[in-house]
Chain A
Amino acid sequence: MKINNYEFPDDLLYNKESYWLRRIGNRVQVGLSDYGQREIGDVLYLELGKEGQTIQQGEEFGSIEAGKWVGSLQAPISGTIAVINEELLVNPKPINENSYKNGWLYEIDMADNTQLNDMMDAEKYSRWVEKQVWLEAQEGEKHE
C-alpha cells in the first residue's frame, strides 16, 4: 500500500512507534517502517541489544543515532531476541534504503503471540500515518 510517497507492504503488521512485524511461525522479524525511518533520518549508528536478551513489549533497549540525536529502540512485542542483523551495526544504510528487506533490525521469539492482535494492518497504519503527516504539517507551519 502506498500513501504520501510512503510504502507499507500489505503482508506486514505495524504499530504506532512505526515498527513493522513480519511473522515467521512463532518468530517475528522487526524493522522500521518507511515512515519511521524517514522520521528518524539517516541512521549513523545503531546498537541492537544481544541475542538471547529477553525484552518486554514497550521496553526500551539498544540505541539509534541520526543527526546527533540518540534514541532508543522500543520492543513492539515481548520475547527473546533470536537473531540481530549484525550487518547493520557496521553499515546501517539499509534501514533508510531498504527497510523492509535487508534493513530488518532483529528477530524475536514471541512470548505471547496474542500481542500481535494489538498491531495494525497496512490499511489501518496508512490512515494513522496520514493523520500524523497532517499534524506535523500543521506544527511545521507554526514554527516557520
Chain B
Amino acid sequence: MNKKWRLLDTGILSAAENTALSQVLLECRREGLSPDTLHFLQFKPCVLVGYHQSVELEIEEDYCREHGLDINRRISGGGNLYWDENQLGWEIYTDRNKPGMPARLEDLYQYFCEGGVAGLKKLGVSANFRPKNDIEVGGRKISGTGGKELGKAFVYQGTLLTDFNVDTMMACLKLPLKKIDDKAVESFRTRVTCLKEILGENMPAMDDIKKAMAQGFEEVLQIELEPGKLTEEEEKRLNKILPYIQSEEWIYGDRKVQNNQLKVVDYKSTGGLIRVSVRVDLPRQLLKTVFITGDFFAYPERIILDLEAVLKNSSAREEDIRKNVQSFFLSRHVRIPHVNAEDFACAIIEAVKEEGDVN
C-alpha cells in the first residue's frame, strides 16, 4: 500500500512568503511536526538568488525596482531565477533515511526529477531528466531544481516554466549576454522552453497542470497524495519568521566577496567560428555559466546545450576544462564537421584567460 503524503497548494504568494514557508516546512519536517509533503507554489513577480549567491552580482536591481519585482534569497542552492504567477513551483519535503530513498545525491536528483518528467508526459510533453538536475524537452530546459537539507529532513525544489517571458528574465538577471550580438541573444532564448510554447492552444489550465504533476509524483514516488492545509504550528512559525525573510539582513546577507567576470571570445576553428561567453567566479576558479554559439553545425543540435549544462559550475582551470569537455564528447555521439572537442576546450580556455568585465 502506498504511503500517504500531504498535497499542499498555497497559491500565489510573495517571494518572501514562499521563502519563509519553505524554511518553516523544512524545520517542521525535521522536528516531525509536518508530514511528508508535495507543495505547489506560485510567486508574485520576483527574482530569487540561490542561498549562497550575492544579489549585487546576480540581479539587475535597478530594473527590478523600476518594474516592481521583489528580490529575495532562496533557502536552497543554485542560480538566479525570475518568477511570476504563471510558473509553477513544486517542492518535496521528506527524510533522507526513508526506505527506498536514494543515498547518493545524483540519484536523488534523478528520482525526484523523474516525478516531474512523468507529470509532464501526462500533459503530452516528451520531457527527460538531464544531469545534473534539470528537466529538459528537446535539450531545452523547462524545469530546474535544487535542494536543502536540515538534519535528516530535506526539501527538493523545482520550477516548471508554463508561460514564460524570456525577455523579462534576460532583463532582470545578470546573464552572460552583454557584449554579444542580437543573433546570439536570440540563440540564448532557445536554451529554455515552456509549456505554452510546446503545447500552444492545447495548453491546459494551471489546475490541470498541477493535477498531472501530482499524478506523476504519485506514480514515481509510489505515494498517495491527500489535499491538506498548513497546520496551526506551521502558520504560527510562518508569521514569526516572515519579518526576517523580508529583511535586508536575509536578502543581502553577509556573503563573502565574489568576483564574477564576464568574458567573451571568438575562436576560429576549421569548421567555423566558436563564440564563447563565460561568467567566471575568479577566486573560486569556477565557470558559473557558459554560453556557446557560432557558425558551426552541430548534430544533434541540442549537444551544445547539453555541453553548457555539464560545464555550469564546473572548474575553470585549464586542465579541468579540457578533461570535462573531452569526457563529454567521449560520452556522446556528436557530429560537428571540422570541429572537435579540443576546439571547444581551447575556445573556453581562451575565454577564461580573456580580460573580462566585472559582472
A10 CB–B CB distance under 8 Å = no
> Which listed residue, B52, B103, B106, B257, touches A63 by the CB 8 Å rule?
B52
A68 touches B50 (CB 8 A): yes
Residue B271, interface by CB 8 Å: no
List chain A residues, Cβ under 8 A from B183. Answer: none
Tally of contacts, chain A with chain B, CB under 8 A: 92
A70 and B105 in contact, given A63-B52, A65-B77 (Cβ under 8 angstroms) = no
**Contact stretch, chosen from A29-37, A90-98, A104-112:** A90-98
Q: Which residues of A contact B314 (CB under 8 A)?
A: 42
Whose C-beta in chain A lies nearest to the C-beta of B281?
A44
B52 and A72 form a contact (CB under 8 A): no
B interface bracket (residues with beta carbon within 8 Å of A): 35 or more
Q: Is A67 among interface residues, defined by CB-CB distance under 8 A?
A: yes
Which of A42, A71, A135 has the most chain B CB atoms inside 10 A of its CB?
A71
Instruction: Give A40 to B285 CA distance when docked, in angstroms.
Output: 19
Which of A39, A68, A72 interacts with B104 by CB under 8 Å?
A: A39
Q: Which of B136-176 contact A (CB under 8 A)?
A: 145-151
The binding surface of chain A is classed by DSSP as: mixed
Chain B contact residues: helix, strand, loop or mixed: loop
Q: A60-B150, A68-B133, A70-B52 are in contact. Are A139 and B77 (CB under 8 A)?
A: no
In whole angstroms, how far apart are the Cα atoms of A91 and B284 in the complex?
4
Find out whether the CB atom of A44 lies under 8 angstroms from the CB atom of B104: no
Q: Contact at B151–A68, with CB atoms within 8 Å?
A: no
Cβ A69 vs Cβ B286 within 8 A: no
A136 interface residue (CB < 8 Å to B): yes
B132, CB-defined interface residue at 8 Å: yes
Q: How far is the CA of A143 from the CA of B219 in the complex (A)?
A: 14
B86 at the interface (CB under 8 A from A): no
Contact residues, A46-95 vs B (CB, 8 A): 47, 60, 63, 65-72, 89-93
Shortest distance from the beta carbon of B129 to any chain A beta carbon, whole Å? 12
Is there contact, CB below 8 Å, between B107 and A139? yes
Cα of A45 to Cα of B288 in the assembled complex, Å: 12
Whether A70 pairs with B284 at a CB distance below 8 angstroms is no
Q: Which 7 pairs, one residue from A and one from B, show the smallest C-beta to C-beta distance? A: A45-B52, A68-B146, A68-B78, A65-B77, A68-B77, A71-B149, A70-B77
- Chain A positions within 8 Å of B, measured between CB atoms, are 39-42, 44-45, 47, 60, 63, 65-72, 89-93, 132, 135-136, 139-140, 142-143
Task: Give me 18 A-to-B residue pairs in the complex whose CB atoms sit less than 8 angstroms apart, sorted by A's number.
Answer: A42-B313, A42-B315, A44-B77, A44-B313, A45-B51, A60-B150, A67-B105, A67-B106, A68-B145, A69-B105, A70-B77, A70-B146, A70-B147, A71-B149, A90-B283, A135-B103, A139-B103, A140-B107
If A89-B256, A90-B284 are given as contacts, then 19 extra A-B residue pairs at C-beta distance below 8 Å, sorted by A number, are A41-B105, A42-B313, A44-B313, A45-B51, A45-B52, A65-B50, A66-B105, A67-B77, A68-B79, A68-B147, A69-B77, A69-B146, A70-B51, A70-B52, A71-B149, A93-B315, A139-B102, A139-B103, A143-B110
